[in-house]
Chains A and B, each alone.
Chain A
Amino acid sequence: MPDAGEPVVLEMTGRDFRWHLRYPGPDGELHTADDVLARRHPHVPAHSKVRIELKSDDFLYTFRVDRFDKSEMAVPDMEFFVEFESSEPGRIEFYGDQFCGYAHPELSGAVVVESEREFEEWLHKTRKEQ
C-alpha cells in the first residue's frame, strides 16, 4: 500500500441489519463525546489510506469490496478491519450479507470518495445534524 500518511479511521458497526458509522471528532479519538455518527454509506477523502474497523452488536455481517477483492466480517465481541487506498472521487460499492430469503438491502452500499474539502464539509454537516 502506498504511503498516504495517517489513515482515515472509521468504525462500521452492524446492528439490526444496518451499518452504523462512527468517525472521530475534532479530538481525533473514537468513542468520545465529539464522535461523528452516520449510517450506511461511509464518506472518505480521495487518495487516502482508509481503515474501516468492523464490529457488530448482534449478528455476523460480511463486508465485501469487490474492487479491492477484499472481504471481511463484523462479529459480535470481535474486531476486524479492512484497509484500502481510496483513489479518485467516486463510489466504491460494497456488499453485505446475502441472507437467504430477504437480502436486507441496507447492508449493502457505497463508500463515497470525495475531495478532502467535500469530506470535511460532510463530516462537519453530519456532526451538526446529529
Chain B
Amino acid sequence: MSGRLSKRRLCVAMSSATVWALVLNLSCRSKPNDPEPTPETPATSDEPSSAVEETALRVFGKVPEFELTDSYGESVDRRDFLGNVSVVNFFFTKCTATCPEQTRRLHQLQSKLKDHPQWRDIKLWSITVDPAHDTPETLREYAEQAGADSEHWQFLTGPREQLWELSGEGFKLAVGEAPPEAEMPLFHSSQFVLVDFYGRIRGYYDGLTDAGISKLEDGIEAVLAERLPFPDDVVEPAWMKPRRQEQLATVDQFDVFVGFTFEDRVDASGISFRNKIVDDAGKLWKEAHYDHGNGIAIADVDGDGLIDLYFITQAGPNELWRNRGDGTFEDITESAGVALEDRISVTASFADIDNDSDADLYVTTVRHGNVLFENNGQGEFTDVTERSGLGYVGHSSSSVFFDYDRDGLLDLFLTNVGKYTSDEIGIVTMEPVRGERDDVEYEFYRALPDGFAGHLKPEERNERSLLYRNEGDGVFADVTEETGLVDVCWSGDATPLDANADGWPDLYVLNMQGHDEYYENQEGRSFVRRSREVFPDTPWGSMGVKVFDYDNDGLLDVYITDMHSDMSERIGPEREKEKAVMRWPATMVQTGPHNPQPGRTSIWGNALFHKRASDEFAEVSDAMGAENYWPWGLSVGDLNADGYDDVFISSSMCAPFRYGVNTVLLNNRGEKLLDSEFILGVEPRRGGRTAAPWFELDCSAGADGDHPLCEERQGKFVVWSAMGTKASVIFDIEGDGDLDVVTNEVNGFPQVLVSNLSETRPELRYLKIGLVGTQSNRDGLGAIVKVTAGSNTYTKAYDGLTGYLSHGLYPLYFGLGDADVVDAIEVQWPSGGVQTVEGPVETNQLLEIEEAEQALGS
C-alpha cells in the first residue's frame, strides 16, 4: 500500500485537526512568498531523458556520507550540506591548470550571490584532491587569497583516499594521477556540482565558461525556489534576533555564574544518528500522539566507566553509541543487537534488572511489542522479552524502573498512552525523500483521525498503564490489579516521589490530557490514589517531570512541563512566559473521574510544586519563572556547578507550528529560574537555524496533489518545518568536570551541546557520586543523596529520570560552588538504610559509595 491518504480521507483527517487547519488556512491566505513552480524532474531510470529540456533539474543521486576537515580544522560532514544549497568543486592549491580559473569564477559567483535574499542558505565548497600539500593551514591561506567569505565558502581536506572516493564515487567526478606527459601530476574534474537542500546532486555545470556559470545560476535559483516554509516565517522568524538581544541584556540580573557557553559539536562527536518520524507525525500530520516523538537513554553499557547513548527513533534502527571518553562516540548498535529496526519505537530505559552490575535495556514501541534486553556486561544484549513477560503490545511510552516493594529488585511501571491508532498499516515515506534509505519500508499503524480526542471516549480508547513486580530470575509479574495501581490516564511518563517521606516510593503519573495522578505506596503492598489531596491542581497536558530540590532546602520539589495547554491557542513569542489561555471547551478539558471539583480548572502550563512539608506542596511556577513555550520534558543538572540545579527544557513542536526555543533556566540561587538559552549559546542553534527540510511535496495529480499544502500550488517543493527537540539528557560527556547536553531531535540529527565551563571557570568544584547497592538494587535507583559542603547541603533523588521520556543510569553530579572539600555525604538507600560518609572528601572526583551492611535498619 502506498501509505498516502486519499483525498476523502485526508479531508476527514483535516476536519478534526483543527490546529493544522488553522495554521494551514492562514498560510494559504497569505502567500507572498509562494515559490515559482519548479521545473519538472525527468525520470532518470526508466526512460532516458534528453538535453532538449535545458531547464530541467535532475536528481543525480545523493551526496554520500563523508567526514572531512575545513580550513579551520573543524569537522565537516554530509549534514553540513543539508538545509543549504551548495556548489561543490574539486581542485588543489598547487594546480596551475584550470584551478585558478575555477577559483576566480567561484569568487565571482560569491560576489554576485552575496546580495541574494537567500544568501544565508547558499554555500560553496572547494575540496582539495591533494591533501599531502593542502593542509587546513594551506587552504586557509589560499581561501584568504581567493577572497573567500569563510561563512559561505569553505575549503575542505582530509585523507586522500576519502577525498578521491568522495570525488569519484560520491560525485562521480574522476580524479587520478596524470600520465607523465600531462600538464599536472593530478587530474580532476572542473565541473561545478549543484547540491540541493536535501543533499541531492541536482546538476553539473562547466565551471570554466560563462555559459556553464549562467546555467549554474539558473540551477541555484531553481533549487532555492523549491523551499516551501511552513508556516511562512519558520525559516527566519523575525522575533529571534530581538529575543536574543533582550535576553543578553538581562545578564546583570544573574547572581550566579553565566560566563560559559555551549557549542553543538555533533559533527566532532562522530554521532551520525538521525531521528526519523512516521508520516502521521510529518507529511500527513495528525493530532495524534505520534508527534510526541522519542526519548534518549543513557548508561555505561560496557563497564568502561563512560556514559553511552541510546537514541530512539520511530522509523529505522535505534542506535547505541559508545562513549570513547574524548568527546567522540562510536556506533555499536550492530554488535549490541539493539536496533529493533522493524518496530516503531517510542523510548527506552536502562536498568539493571538482575543486579549483575550491568545496564539492561527496555524499549517501548507503538503496537510492535515492547522488548527487554539483557546485557552481558560487554554491551552485547540478548532479547529476553518472552521469559520476562514484559512484551506488552500497545501504545506504550516511558518505562519507570523503581523498587516499590523494596526487595532489592527493580520493578517496572510501564506507562501506556491510550489507543490513538487504527488497524490500517501505513508505510513511512518521510525518509526516502532525503535519499537516505529507500531500500526498506517501515510499517506503522496509521493514527486515528481523532486520536487526540481519545480521552473523550474512555471506554473505547483508554489503555491502562501497568505495574510489574520483579520476581527475580528475569521474570516480571503484572501486579496492576493486585496493588490497586489501576491508572487509565493518557500517560507518557511517571516518576517515583516519596511525598510523605515514609521511605516507600510513591508514584506521580503524568496525564497529558487531564489531571495528573498521585499514588501513595502502602509499604510495598498496594497503592492508594491520593491525587487531589496532595496535588489539588495539576497541569492539563503534562509531558515531562523531574523531582529535584531547586532551592536547596532539603525537600524534593516537582517540576512538570505542560505541552498540550500550549496547543489550544496561538501563543506568540511575547507571551511565552505566561500560562496559556485555554481555548478548548470544558467538554474537552474537564474530563475524567479524578478531576477537580466543578469550578476549578487545571493549570494551563508548567507547574513547579515547591515542597513545604510532608504531602504539602505549593505551586510556584509563575513566581519562579518556570513557564515556557511548547515544552516536552526537562533535564536537570547543575550547569554552572554553583550548587543549584538548572533546567534544560526540550521544546518546539515542528510543523505545522512555529519554532520554539529550547529553554535553559539558570537557577538564580533558588530564588528565580532565569531564561538563559541565548546567553549560554544554546539558542540560536548552530548556523542560526530554526527550520529544516521536512518532506518533499509533489503537487502533481496522482502524487501529493491532494495534500492541503498543494492548494493553489504546482510543481515540487521541499516543505520546511520548525526544528524541535524532543528529549534531552545532561551528563559530562568527556569527563572534564562540567555538564554537557545531548538531544534527540524530531526528524533530525542530535545536538551535542558541549559546555566550556571547565575552561572558563578553572576553579570549578564538583563531586560525582556513583552508588553501588548491595541490599538495594545494584545501582541504588531510588536513593536520596545529601552532600554537605560547608554550610550548604545539596539533596538529590537518584530516580533515573534524565529527560523527556528518558530513563537511565548515571552518576549524580553535585556542583559545589566554591567549596574546596565535601564534609559529609548521606545516602538514604532504597532498601531503607541510611549511610553516612564522613569527610573530608576530595572534590572533582567520581566517588563510588557501596551500600554498607550496617546501613540496613539504621
Residues of A within 8 A of B (CB): 17, 53, 56, 58-60, 62, 70-73, 75-83, 97-102, 104
Are B191 and A60 closer than 8 Å at their CB atoms?
yes
Comparing B178-186, B402-410, B646-654, the segment that makes contact with chain A is: B178-186
CA distance A17 to B189 in the complex (A): 12
Known: A17-B174, A100-B97. A82 touches B51 (CB 8 A): yes
Question: Which residues does chain A contribute within 8 Å of B61, judged by CB atoms?
Answer: 77
Q: Smallest distance from the beta carbon of B540 to chain A beta carbons, Å?
A: 54
Question: Which residues does chain A contribute within 8 Å of B52, judged by CB atoms?
Answer: 83
CA distance A58 to B174 in the complex (A): 8
Are B168 and A101 closer than 8 Å at their CB atoms?
no
Residues of B within 8 A of A (CB): 44-45, 48-52, 58, 60-61, 91, 95, 97-99, 102, 168, 171-174, 178-179, 182-191, 204, 206, 208
10 tightest Cβ-Cβ pairs between the two chains A and B: A101-B187, A101-B184, A102-B182, A102-B178, A102-B187, A79-B48, A59-B174, A100-B98, A72-B51, A60-B172
Are B188 and A100 closer than 8 Å at their CB atoms?
yes
Are A80 and B51 closer than 8 Å at their CB atoms?
yes
Of A59, A82, A102, A104, which one neighbours B50 at CB under 8 angstroms?
A82
CA distance A80 to B60 in the complex (A): 12
Of A60, A79, A101, which one neighbours B204 at CB under 8 angstroms?
A60
Q: Smallest distance from the beta carbon of A60 to chain B beta carbons, Å?
A: 4
Are A71 and B190 closer than 8 Å at their CB atoms?
no
Question: Which residues does chain B contribute within 8 Å of A62, judged by CB atoms?
Answer: 191, 204, 206
Are B51 and A99 closer than 8 Å at their CB atoms?
no
Question: Which residues does chain B contribute within 8 Å of A97, judged by CB atoms?
Answer: 174, 189-191
Of A59, A78, A81, which one neighbours B60 at CB under 8 angstroms?
A78
CA distance A114 to B427 in the complex (A): 56
Of A75, A82, A83, A100, which one neighbours B184 at CB under 8 angstroms?
A100
Are B49 and A102 closer than 8 Å at their CB atoms?
no
Q: Smallest distance from the beta carbon of B188 to chain A beta carbons, Å?
A: 5
Are A53 and B174 closer than 8 Å at their CB atoms?
no
Question: Which residues does chain A contribute within 8 Å of B171, judged by CB atoms?
Answer: 60
Of A80, A83, A102, which one neighbours B183 at CB under 8 angstroms?
A102
Known: A59-B172, A73-B204, A101-B95. A80 touches B48 (CB 8 A): yes
Question: Which residues does chain B contribute within 8 Å of A58, judged by CB atoms?
Answer: 168, 174
Question: Which residues does chain B contribute within 8 Å of A104, judged by CB atoms?
Answer: 187
What residue in chain A is nearest B47 (Cβ atoms)? A79
What residue in chain B is nearest A53 (Cβ atoms)? B48
Question: Which residues does chain A contribute within 8 Å of B189, judged by CB atoms?
Answer: 59-60, 97, 99-100
Are B45 and A79 closer than 8 Å at their CB atoms?
yes
Question: Which residues does chain B contribute within 8 Å of A72, judged by CB atoms?
Answer: 50-51
CA distance A83 to B52 in the complex (A): 9
Question: Which residues does chain B contribute within 8 Å of A102, judged by CB atoms?
Answer: 178-179, 182-184, 187
Q: Smallest distance from the beta carbon of B164 to chain A beta carbons, Å?
A: 12
Are A99 and B174 closer than 8 Å at their CB atoms?
yes
What residue in chain B is nearest A16 (Cβ atoms)? B174
CA distance A77 to B52 in the complex (A): 20
Are A99 and B45 closer than 8 Å at their CB atoms?
no
Question: Which residues does chain A contribute within 8 Å of B58, judged by CB atoms?
Answer: 78
CA distance A11 to B97 in the complex (A): 32
Are B45 and A60 closer than 8 Å at their CB atoms?
no
6 contacts between A and B (CB under 8 A): A78-B45, A98-B98, A99-B190, A100-B189, A101-B97, A101-B183
Question: Which residues does chain A contribute within 8 Å of B102, judged by CB atoms?
Answer: 100
Are A101 and B178 closer than 8 Å at their CB atoms?
yes
CA distance A122 to B318 in the complex (A): 61
Q: Smallest distance from the beta carbon of A22 to chain B beta carbons, Å?
A: 14
Q: Smallest distance from the beta carbon of A98 to chain B beta carbons, Å?
A: 6
Q: Smallest distance from the beta carbon of A99 to chain B beta carbons, Å?
A: 5
Q: Smallest distance from the beta carbon of B137 to chain A beta carbons, Å?
A: 23
Are B51 and A76 closer than 8 Å at their CB atoms?
no
Of A59, A73, A98, which one neighbours B208 at CB under 8 angstroms?
A98
What residue in chain B is nearest A1 (Cβ atoms)? B52
What residue in chain A is nearest B211 (Cβ atoms)? A71
Question: Which residues does chain B contribute within 8 Å of A78, judged by CB atoms?
Answer: 44-45, 58, 60
Of B45, B50, B204, which one neighbours A83 at CB under 8 angstroms?
B50
Question: Which residues does chain A contribute within 8 Å of B48, judged by CB atoms?
Answer: 53, 79-81
CA distance A104 to B204 in the complex (A): 19
Q: Smallest distance from the beta carbon of B708 to chain A beta carbons, Å?
A: 34
CA distance A104 to B187 in the complex (A): 9
Q: Smallest distance from the beta carbon of A74 to chain B beta carbons, Å?
A: 10
CA distance A59 to B190 in the complex (A): 13
Question: Which residues does chain A contribute within 8 Å of B45, judged by CB atoms?
Answer: 77-79
Q: Smallest distance from the beta carbon of B387 to chain A beta carbons, Å?
A: 47
Question: Which residues does chain A contribute within 8 Å of B97, judged by CB atoms?
Answer: 100-101
CA distance A102 to B185 in the complex (A): 9
What residue in chain B is nearest A98 (Cβ atoms)? B190
What residue in chain B is nearest A82 (Cβ atoms)? B51
Known: A99-B190, A100-B187. A60 touches B50 (CB 8 A): no
Are A101 and B182 closer than 8 Å at their CB atoms?
yes
What residue in chain A is nearest B172 (Cβ atoms)? A60
Are B51 and A100 closer than 8 Å at their CB atoms?
no
Question: Which residues does chain B contribute within 8 Å of A81, judged by CB atoms?
Answer: 48-50
Question: Which residues does chain B contribute within 8 Å of A17, judged by CB atoms?
Answer: 174
Of B44, B168, B182, B184, which one neighbours A59 at CB under 8 angstroms?
B168
Question: Which residues does chain B contribute within 8 Å of A77, judged by CB atoms?
Answer: 45, 61
Given contacts A62-B191, A101-B188, 19 further A-B contacts (CB under 8 A): A59-B172, A60-B173, A60-B204, A76-B172, A79-B45, A81-B48, A81-B50, A82-B51, A98-B206, A100-B95, A100-B98, A100-B187, A100-B188, A101-B178, A101-B184, A101-B186, A101-B187, A102-B178, A102-B179
Most buried by B among A53, A58, A70, A97: A97
Question: Which residues does chain B contribute within 8 Å of A100, judged by CB atoms?
Answer: 91, 95, 97-99, 102, 184, 187-190
Q: Smallest distance from the beta carbon of A39 to chain B beta carbons, Å?
A: 18
Question: Which residues does chain A contribute within 8 Å of B204, judged by CB atoms?
Answer: 60, 62, 73
Question: Which residues does chain B contribute within 8 Å of A71, judged by CB atoms?
Answer: 51
Are B188 and A75 closer than 8 Å at their CB atoms?
no
What residue in chain B is nearest A54 (Cβ atoms)? B48
Known: A70-B51, A80-B48. A99 touches B172 (CB 8 A): no
Q: Smallest distance from the beta carbon of A53 to chain B beta carbons, Å?
A: 6
CA distance A40 to B48 in the complex (A): 21
CA distance A58 to B172 in the complex (A): 7
Q: Smallest distance from the beta carbon of A67 to chain B beta carbons, Å?
A: 14
What residue in chain B is nearest A61 (Cβ atoms)? B174
Q: Smallest distance from the beta carbon of A10 to chain B beta carbons, Å?
A: 13
Question: Which residues does chain B contribute within 8 Å of A53, judged by CB atoms?
Answer: 48
Q: Smallest distance from the beta carbon of B49 to chain A beta carbons, Å?
A: 6
Question: Which residues does chain A contribute within 8 Å of B49, judged by CB atoms?
Answer: 79-81
What residue in chain A is nearest B167 (Cβ atoms)? A59
CA distance A116 to B297 in the complex (A): 74
Question: Which residues does chain B contribute within 8 Å of A75, judged by CB atoms?
Answer: 60, 172
CA distance A100 to B91 in the complex (A): 8
Most buried by A among B60, B102, B208: B60
Are B60 and A99 closer than 8 Å at their CB atoms?
no
Are B168 and A99 closer than 8 Å at their CB atoms?
no
CA distance A59 to B171 in the complex (A): 8
What residue in chain A is nearest B48 (Cβ atoms)? A79
CA distance A81 to B95 in the complex (A): 33
Q: Smallest distance from the beta carbon of A62 to chain B beta carbons, Å?
A: 8
Question: Which residues does chain A contribute within 8 Å of B179, judged by CB atoms?
Answer: 102
Q: Smallest distance from the beta carbon of B54 to chain A beta carbons, Å?
A: 9
Most buried by A among B48, B52, B171: B48
CA distance A60 to B193 in the complex (A): 11
CA distance A56 to B91 in the complex (A): 23
CA distance A66 to B533 in the complex (A): 86
Question: Which residues does chain B contribute within 8 Å of A82, judged by CB atoms?
Answer: 50-51
Question: Which residues does chain A contribute within 8 Å of B91, judged by CB atoms?
Answer: 100
Question: Which residues does chain A contribute within 8 Å of B191, judged by CB atoms?
Answer: 60, 62, 97
What residue in chain B is nearest A68 (Cβ atoms)? B51
Q: Smallest distance from the beta carbon of B185 to chain A beta carbons, Å?
A: 8
What residue in chain A is nearest B59 (Cβ atoms)? A78
CA distance A77 to B186 in the complex (A): 26
